[in-house]
Amino acid sequence: MKQIVTVTLNPAIDKTITVDRLTVAGLNRIKHVRMDPGGKGINVAKVLVQFGASAVAWGFQAGVEGRVLMQMLDDLNIHSRFFQTAGNVRTNLKVVDEATKQTTELNEIGQQPSDSVVQDFIRAFEAEMKATSLLVLGGSLPPGLPQDFYRTLIVIAGKYGVRTILDADGEALAAGIEARPFAIKPNLQELEALVGKRLPTDEAIVHAARSIHAQGIPCVVVSMGAEGAIVAMREGTFRARPFPITPISTVGAGDSMVAAMAHCLAEGMPVEEMVRWMTAAGSITASKPGTEVCTLTEVSLKLDAVEVTHL
């Protein structure tokens, strides 16, 4: 059985702190602290392991923090291949305000990998594609990498018939789309930036998603937080509305949607079922602290609570 590869080029250690109420420019006493391995591809791998999928996380790592990150992945039973470069893995701070249920994120920029390490990565990555069924690319690019780097990886994967899910934003997303990945998953703000205008209604979002689908992207998923998701595919356009939750930390919710998509594609599930899985996974993860993610059992129990409409 071929594996799912996730790529996190700019990983992090996520430090999540919880306060009663965040006071800007004032004293805040911390109630809880937790540390998690972070980055979109890593979060996707965490969910896939929970689902029992064959997955391996790839990326760059550096310094003492990089060694801590690798140990965290080992502790979570996540198979990984991270290429070491100079410097240190970044630390991202998440501040959870219990009063407002909002999360404020303070993310470091990351470490620039050397040219030689990047070339080593590309050579090994291409060799790995022969044993890969699905590729997940996600998150920010580290300093020094060109904005079309995801496009390069998508083209390489395509040579081996590997379908790619791209979850990026800005120039990296726009450039990646040029290589025709199988799927993209922008949130609403990322989609608006991509099309260059506000999308205030479901109708406007559907039109934008369908227009990107028509450019040769088989699956366009627009995540909308508590409002659910809109999915445009060859089989049609679907509107998903989630069950109510009490949000605790939305970090990793979109990554859980991507993981559920990858799982369903690997299992050959029908499109409508995939939409249910994605929506349930994102909602459950949003109800958990830090970057804790959904489990297979939790998602399975909530599938029927997701409302899916074929537009």
The strand order across the sheet containing 79-85 reads: 79-85, 55-62, 3-8, 132-138, 163-167, 183-184, 219-223, 229-233, 236-241, 307-310
Of the chain, the end-to-end C-alpha distance in Å amounts to: 35
Q: What is the dihedral of CA 51, 52, 58, 62, to 10 degrees?
A: 80
Pairing of strands 229-233, 219-223: antiparallel
DSSP string of 267-308, one letter each residue: HT--HHHHHHHHHHHHHHHHTSSTT----HHHHHHHGGGSEE
Cβ-Cβ contacts under 8 Å for 268 (sequence gap 6 or more): none
Number of helical (H) and strand (E) elements in the chain, helices listed first: 10, 14
Q: Which residues contact 147 (CB under 8 A, 6 or more apart)?
A: 141, 170, 171, 172, 175
Evaluate whether 47 touches 255 at the Cβ level (below 8 Å).
yes
Q: Is residue 20 annotated as part of the catalytic site, yes or no?
A: no
Cβ atoms 62, 83 nearer than 8 A: no
Which candidate, 249, 282, 293, 229, places its Cα nearest to that of 100? 249
Neighbours of 130 (CB within 10 A): 10
The letter for the amino acid at 204 is A
**In the β-sheet with 30-38, what is the strand arrangement from edge to edge?**
30-38, 12-19, 90-97, 102-107
Select which of 14, 167, 255, 304 is catalytic.
255
Active site residues: 255
